[in-house]
Structure 1
Amino acid sequence: MVTPGTNELYVADPAAAEEIMRRCRDREFVQREMVYQVLDVFGPNVDSVNGKVWERHRRITVPPFNERISGCVWDEAGRQAKGALEVWLANSREETVRSTQNDCMKIALHVLTRAGFGVSYDFSGEGKTVNRSGRHKLTYRDALRTLLDNMVIVFFLRIAQQGGWPLWATWGRARKVLDAHAEFQDYMTEMMAEEKTRMQSGEKDRGNLMSVLVRSSEQAKLSGKIADDGAAGRNTFQGLTDEEVYGNMFIYNLAGHDTTANTIHIALTILAIHPEWQVWVAEEIDRVVGTGEEHNRVYEDVFPKLPRCLALMYETQRLYPSVPCLPRWTADTWQQISVGGTEIMIPPQTNVMVNSTALQTHPKYWGPDPLVFRPDRWTVNAQEHQQDEIDADGPHDWQSTSLLQPVPGSFVAWSAGPRICPGKKFSQVEFVSVIAMLFSNNSRVEVVREKDEMPEDAKRRVARVLAEAKTEIALKVPNAESIGMRWFRKVP
């Protein structure tokens, strides 16, 4: 696509997409700094930097996503889902539940506050208030929620600040966002200082992302190694600066909030009009987790044995990818790639867009029904009772071995190559834990039909609403409250 600004090339060839995402080093297909620096809300981070700087960030930001964190995510996501289910079941007795999207956002937020910083909240909102300095006006959760709910304003304020706009000259909603920014900065500063003190006194880490990230960075600094960041005459230790720790902690929250929350919301909405898929996942949940008092929710025992729940996430992401296009940039160099056996040259200063939506719905790779929601396409080769292996030191880009392995490059829900999302398994564990809790013990959900509406009409109405999904921070369904749901316990 030729534009008055920069040219754009859209790619929907799996091999080419795989090559583009694999070649992410300096002077190849990089993140465009002008676009991604807007993410430096609290500092440079693994998403906004390139080259040697990115390699340094990557080395330090990946280790926090370990199995201890996965276990924490599993427990907290299940606890939040249990609280949500209790509210939904109670509300369904007398009225229609129309808060599913917002409630999924709350679940994801509370998982992040617990796994990210060790701060727990009940689904109903009660929880620990972190105000050690005694000078905070907002709770930790409310500061983070204000930022995540207003990211368009956050980005606008960052651009305005770069352009020289005085931030004191703001009012209304923008003023509240700035106040939340200052509060969240103070919380992170306090938590980092505490973690460094704990580390110096020989205490163990607290098993959350902030704790492990700070220690990972400090240990890298202590290693005494020097890394060249690519800037002339500028060397730095292998660790992260305080500003970079803040930047990465915020990007963890930003990347893990809207994406997972909206995937859960869309999956629940689809299940509400497809009771057959509810039965399909519930069969697995009942067999693995158990029912009533005789149940097992231990992460290591249960998560590897729930491929259907994971397949539900994959199929939702296939048809409703959180990021419909993955952008790359050729910077100042020509790049050569192979597309369908033909070598093509891509000019400098070109935006290269890996089209997730097209790749993930192409009949050549997904069969004759690529637009049909069918999660069992992922389990077609799975053996009964087959389970995945969990390695305590396993990779962050863990891939289920019990599910379909699609053509490389044809499924890029978490990106691919060296810049694959470090929170990939984090999101998978969260999703599976939520589904395993919501559909245990004969819990079911249905769409509430409008007056004189037949079941097939309700399906078509819901499908139309889902088709209006658009990208904000991630893919999100507008007017989600127009879909009323009712939760109930199915009589065995």
Structure 2
Amino acid sequence: MVTLLVPLAGVLVLIVGTVLQSVFSLFRNYLVARKIGVPVRIIPFDHVNPLWLVLDRRVLSMVKLLPFGLGNNSFTRYNYRGWEVPDRYYSHFEMGDAYILVSPRNIWLYIADPDAVMDLWRRGKEFPRDTSVTAVLDIFGPNISTAQGAQWQKHRRITASSFNDHTNQIVWSESITVANDMLRYWCSKGSVQTAADDLRALSLHVMSRAGFGKSFKFQGHDERETSAPDGLPLNYKDSLKIILENCILIFALGRKFLANPWLPRKLRQVHAACASFQTHLTQVYNDEQASLAQGDSYDRNFINSLVRASQDQEADSTLGGGLTESEIYGNIFTFNFAGHDTTAHTFTFALYFLAANPATQDWISEEIRHVMGNRKPDEWLYSDFRRLKRCLAVIYETLRLYTPVPTSKIVDTQTPQILKVGAQSLILPPKVIIVPSYASLQTDPKYWGDDSLEWRPSRFIRSPSSGTGKGIGPLLDAEEFLTPARGTYLAWSGGARDCVGRKFSQVESVATIASLFRDWRVDPVPRKGETPDAGRQRVSNQIESDSAPVLLLQMLHPEHSPLVWSQR
């Protein structure tokens, strides 16, 4: 009995010690936060705590059930992934342009002043990016999302050269091809419950072609194998798919732990996917090195451009050298992740918004028909992209309300930094994390009007004040895309560390929307006794109530609202 009590006592001491240390750290951080001079709210767990990432929703769903209003507090309001989306601008409306969330580990300063955000972007040395939230992307090596200082400048210089119009032309053509294959699959079904999964497949196909020069035939959800048989190697596309679906698991447990042979089959499959993807990266890298040595021409896909740009930098001693093999792998994975998950989730939101808004479908179809005319999809030109302003507005408006990737900065100096927010000059001590409140800035009525919480893509388009008397065509050509006011739209971040793949994602999105909506329309499948308008309202309600981060912000159960396609 005594031998049993000894280890139990040790565990108890460890638990008590951990709790006491957390309480002490929380109190210490609270005292520091109070001195900054803005409202402070306490949360017991840090947002990036790996264990809390797994448990947050389960724990808070039980806490919210407490009686007498005990479940309505800062813990349940702020201490879970994605709380910013339902909160929108309300916390800033209550507390002003700046407030703090304090946890045992960190002090998080949230700001909703556009001028302060722009100042933050400009002062990259005093306020570098907080890379703790992007650490998950180091799975295969250091990369642009996790590098700092001179290392980041090297990553940016080399990777930016790989995002060019040659790559975008590949993205344009592949997006059109795959989107039309996907549309044919959807139209062959009476109703579609797998739109989100199929859109992920589309995005993965585009990344495969643009990133690796590998094209795969599109297969709808019902046409695909759910997993590879044991013992058979996974191809690049399937390996990446498994990794992206299990990023949080890999981040929490680590690749080395997942290699243990005694783990359940599903975890072993995740490890197999990591190993297989690493093999594919190495093979493509070695092939490109050999091709480069022989002076062969190349496809100008992302990995080709990245390897060659890195070699050019290595040869020029004045530029600080090229990327290591590990860094090339890390950047390839990062751009696969960013170009796949973020785009796929945005596609899903946009598709369901369009299904709930038939008038907007008509609005974009009018533009697509004007620009593309009767040309077949394989005759569409990359130069058509810039004319599809309404299609681009659909993506901008979707990202305004549902930005999948927030960003944050950190005071990374040994001395306090001053940041002016509104009328206040805040003295920020080292290690304070600063978060531009994207969900507030992008929905605040001060910047977006009284309908700021409504999905209305036309807010990004300025139409001519009068007609030309020559039909609709000249009016469409004369429309202008309205760039949001500086500091009020953060979907692609900002400053020097804005999203290097911004144009890539825009081209893919616009090409896909144009392919789907020139000749077709989409509607929710009505439930028994449900009117079409009621079905659309149900879908709108689901977008709002059923969206939350898994790794990124996404619709959790879009399959609960099947869609049906019909020809115009």
Which category of TM-score, normalised to the shorter sequence, fits these structures? 0.7 to 0.9
Structure 1 counterpart SS, 2:397: helix
- The alignment partner of 1:336 has SS state of strand
CA distance, structure 1, for counterparts of residue 432 and residue 418 of structure 2: 12
Q: 1:268 to 1:35 in 2, by over 3 A?
A: closer
2:122 to 22, 29, 37: 22
- Structure 1 residue 331, shift from structure 2 partner: 3.0
Match in the other structure for 1:108: 203
Partners of 2:378 and 2:207 lie apart in 1 by: 26
Instruction: Tell me if 1:186 matches 2:279.
Output: yes
- Tell me the residue number matched to 2:66: none
- 357, 374, 377: which is aligned to 1:274? 357
* Post-superposition CA distance 1:36-91 (Å, at most 9, x none): 33321110000001111111111111111000100000010111110111011110
Query: Distance in 2 between the 1:111 and 1:473 partners?
Result: 21
Question: Out of 171, 178, 184, which is 1:80 matched to?
Answer: 178
The secondary structure found in structure 1 opposite 2:426 is strand
Q: Is 1:354 the equivalent of 2:436? A: yes
Higher-Rg structure is 2
Query: Where is the helix percentage greater, Structure 1 or Structure 2?
Result: 2
Instruction: Give deviations 1:285-337, integer Å, cap 9, x for gaps.
Output: 0010113659841112x1111100001110111111112x3222213442211
CA contact under 8 A between 1:37 and 1:44: conserved in structure 2? no
Residue by residue over 1:178-197, the C-alpha shift from the partner in whole angstroms, topping out at 9 and shown as x without a partner, is 11111111111111111111
| Counterpart residue number, 1:450 | 527
Alignment match of 1:384 (pick from 449, 455, 475) = 475
Instruction: Please tell me the root mean square deviation across aligned C-alpha atoms, in Å.
Output: 2.2
- 1:263-302 superposed matches below 5 A: 263-291=346-374, 293=376, 296-300=379-383, 302=384
Match among 245, 248, 251 for residue 152 of structure 1? 248
In structure 1, what is the equivalent of residue 156 of structure 2?
Answer: 58
Aligned pairs for 1:328-339 (under 5 A) are 328-333=409-414, 334-339=416-421
How is 1:22-421 mapped onto 2 (pairs within 5 angstroms)?
A: 22-25=122-125, 28-92=126-190, 96-124=191-219, 137-158=233-254, 161=256, 167=260, 170-225=263-318, 227=320, 238-291=321-374, 293=376, 296-300=379-383, 302-323=384-405, 325-333=406-414, 334-380=416-462, 384-386=475-477, 402-421=480-499
Look up the equivalent residue of 1:384 and give its one-letter code: L
Q: Cα deviations across residues 372-398 of structure 1 (Å, max 9, x unaligned)?
A: 1111110125783448xxxxxxxxxxx
CA contact (8 A) 1:308 1:376 kept: yes
Distance in 2 (alpha carbons) for counterparts of 1:305 and 1:290: 13
Structure 2 CA distance for aligned equivalents of residues 359 and 100 of structure 1: 30
Residue 7 of structure 1 corresponds to 107
Contact 1:359 1:410 in 2 (8 A): yes
Does structure 2 retain, via aligned residues, the 8 Å contact 1:414–1:421? yes
The letter of the residue matching 1:174 is: L
CA distance in structure 1 between the aligned counterparts of 2:543 and 2:328, rounded to whole angstroms = 37
Unpaired runs of at least 5, structure 1: 128-134, 228-237, 388-400
Distance 1:466 1:214, change over 3 A: same
2:377–2:515 Cα contact (<8 Å) kept: no
- Cα distance in 2 for partners of 1:118, 1:60 equals 19
Is the contact between residue 289 and residue 295 of structure 1 (CA under 8 Å) also seen in structure 2? no
Deviations 1:18-44 (A, max 9, x none): 22233223xx22233444333211100
| TM-score, normalising length: structure 2 | 0.75
- Following superposition, the deviation at residue 282 of structure 1 comes to 0.3
2:541 — aligned with what? 464
* Separation in structure 2 between the aligned mates of residue 329 and residue 118 of structure 1, nearest angstrom: 38
Distance 1:262 1:37 in 2: 21
Q: Which amino acid aligns with 2:507?
A: V
Change (3 A) 1:87 1:222: same
* Contact 2:109 2:434 (C-alpha < 8 Å) held by counterparts: yes
1:156 partner SS: helix
For 1:205 and 1:311, locate their aligned partners in 2 and report how far apart those are by CA, in whole Å.
Answer: 34
- Once the two structures are superposed, what CA deviation does each residue of 1:191-217 show, in whole Å capped at 9, x if it has no partner? 111111111111122221000000010
Structure 1 letter corresponding to 2:245: D
- Give the SS at the match of 1:326: coil
Q: Deviations over 1:211-258 (max 9, x none)?
A: 00000101110112363xxxxxxxxxx100000000000000011111
Query: CA–CA distance in 1 between the matches of 2:115 and 2:263?
Result: 48
Which stretch shifts more, 341-350 or 174-183? 341-350
Distance 2:435 2:367 in 1: 38
Matching residue's letter, 2:393 = A
**Cα 1:30–1:294 shift into 2, 3 Å:** closer
Cα distance in 2 for partners of 1:313, 1:69 equals: 20
Q: What amino acid maps onto 1:214 in structure 2?
A: V
Q: 2:510 aligns with which of 432, 454, 468?
A: 432
Amino acid at match of 1:453: E
Amino acid at match of 2:309: S
Distance 1:460 1:196, change over 3 A: same
The alpha carbon displacement at 1:167 in A equals 4.5
Letter in 2 for 1:154: I
Equivalent residues, number: 449
SS in 1 for 2:248: helix
Pair 1:266–1:294, CA change in 2 (3 A):
closer
Q: Structure 1 284/20 Cα, relative in aligned 2: closer, same or farther at 3 Å?
A: same
Q: Go from structure 1 to structure 2 and tell me whether the alpha carbon gap of 1:136 and 1:332 turns closer, same or farther (over 3 Å shift).
A: farther
Distance 2:149 2:387 in 1: 39
In structure 2, C-alpha distance between the alignment counterparts of 1:13 and 1:279, rounded to whole Å:
36
